Amino acid sequence: MITELLDDLRAESRVLDDLVAPLDDWTVPTPAEGWTIANQISHLRWTDRVAALAARDPGAFAEALRGASPDAVDEGAREPVTLAQWLAGRVELAEALAALPPGVKMPWFGPPMSATSMATARLMETWAHGQDVADALGVTREPTHRLRHVAHIAVRTFGWSFVVNGLTAPRVPVRVELVAPDGEAWTWGPEDAQDRITGPALDFCLLATQRRHRDDLDVTVVGEAAGAWAPIAQAFAGAPGTGRAPRRRP
């Protein structure tokens, strides 16, 4: 499975490559407040580099973590970066994850992660930050089957979305039913669950990565638990995201 995941991660990265490689100016602002295109790429490169270190040398990662600034993630996004540096970091990470023995988990800022979990997380982040770049350039990306990875991690972080907002996660199960780009049905959760979120996979992924406001998405939410989750869904780690303002009136 890790081989297929890494192939998908490479493919998602190439989509972003195609957006930024022709640009002479990476200082174009993106919808993420205070972040330019350069910041988006620098953040991805920094996280890839740190993840590769965690996979290859847990002791060195722990040492780096002890000496890290509380603002290390934001500082990483401010580091100068080139396309070649980001490419090299991606290759290094893929090699490190492929070499991680099955069943072994690597340390991380939160709970330890398996190679498959880390690859999924990196794909989600690459897609999400790629959306910021696409929006900055006025480009519409073609949705692909790789959205399934983004949707999967969004469902897996159901409880986290509540915890990070200081709330108790509902015990009621939520069924997620999505329509894939090719028309296939992707589902998570009990089939008989009363609480549901349904809609196109792209819209759900935009919601869970907080790249679009719910009012701008074709997502149907039914039930109290699903209704509580939708506004705070957060597939990424860190503090609660601020989300995006609606582009249109409800």
- The rounded Cα 35 to chain-centroid distance in angstroms is 16
Coil, strand or helix: which one is 166? Answer: coil
111 to 31, 106, 114, 237: CA distances (angstroms): 30, 9, 10, 11
CA–CA dist 31, 130 (Å, integer): 11
Residue 246 lies in a domain: no
| Contact indicator for 70, 76 with CB cutoff of 8 Å | no
Cα distances (angstroms) measured from residue 93 to each of 43, 84, 87, 97, 106:
14, 14, 10, 6, 12
Residue by residue, DSSP assigns 29-82 as B-SSTT-BHHHHHHHHHHHHHHHHHHHH-HHHHHHHHHT--TTHHHHHHTS---
Domain span at 37: 2-137
Residue 240 lies in a domain: no
Q: Are residues 10 and 113 in the same domain?
A: yes
Count of domains observed in the chain = 2
Q: Please count the residues of the chain.
A: 250
Q: Is the same domain home to 6 and 113?
A: yes
pLDDT in tens, the chain (250 residues): 899 999 999 999 999 999 999 999 999 999 999 999 999 999 999 999 999 999 999 999 999 988 878 888 888 899 999 999 999 999 999 999 999 999 999 999 888 999 999 999 999 999 999 999 999 999 999 999 999 999 999 999 999 999 999 999 999 999 999 999 999 999 999 999 999 999 999 999 999 999 999 999 999 999 999 999 999 999 998 888 888 989 865 4
CATH number of the domain enclosing 168 = 3.30.1050.10
